[in-house]
Amino acid sequence: MAKVMIRQGGRSARIQEAVHKAVRELLGEIDRTEISVPMLAERAGVTPSTIYRRWGDLSEVLADVASERMRPQTEPADTGSALGDVEAWARQYAEEMATPVGRQMYADLFTRSGESAYSCRCCEYTRQQLEILQARALARGEAGFDIGEVEDRVLAPIVYHLLMGDRDVTPDYCTDLVGAVTSLPRP
């Protein structure tokens, strides 16, 4: 498992930024199976031992980059109701993660056995998005909803089907999943 760096900023942050940038560039140029730690280190301007010391191996670096790419850049859409907000959020999440890039991010996150800091980070990003929707609903005077139920009834099936590739996760499917959330206030 990757080491958690306590100190933020400085040399550590510059190394992480350089390695992340190098990964993104290399993924745009060659197949990920051709990437090696020495190649990555050369591109990032660090030694291979720096990468091994900080991340352990290439799969950890790829998982770190994937989890960072999964960080939401904006707040979820505000549709005017909790039900509409959760539906719009689920549709957008499914659409983004169903792309080849999204599916590869999942693969990079889950190549490590057991619980990883990177998948936990992504879970936290998702929970934060749902907490924004919850707070927004409460601010509008709505009853709110059970975040855990949304994770179980909406997010979990979306992730499962995207990982297994056993069905298309369509907007209508997302709408059906959100409709099954009993704690969401109805108009």
Q: For residue 24, give Cα distances in angstroms to 30, 69, 70, 117, 163.
A: 10, 10, 13, 20, 22
Return phi, psi of residue 166, to 5°. -90, -5
CA distance 37 to 187: 54
pLDDT at 4: 43
Residue 130 has pLDDT above 90, yes or no: yes
Selection from 129, 130, 110 nearest residue 119 by Cα? 110
Mean pLDDT over each residue of the chain, to the nearest integer: 88
CATH fold of 10-69: Arc Repressor Mutant, subunit A (1.10.10)
Nearest to 18 by CA among 54, 45, 36, 55: 45
Instruction: Check: pTM over 0.85? Answer yes or no.
Output: no
Cβ count near 126 (within 10 Å): 18
pLDDT recorded at residue 158: 96
pLDDT in tens, 2-12: 444 444 567 78
Total length of the chain: 187
Rounded Cα–Cα distance for residues 177 and 155 (Å):
9
Alpha-carbon gap, residue 102 to 108, rounded angstroms:
10
**Cβ atoms of residues 83 and 182 within 8 Å:** no
Beta carbons of 105 and 66 less than 8 angstroms apart = yes
- Domain positions in the chain are 10-69, 82-179
For residues 90 and 94, give the distance between their C-alpha atoms in angstroms, rounded to a whole number.
Answer: 6
**Cα separation, 87 vs 137, whole angstroms:** 13
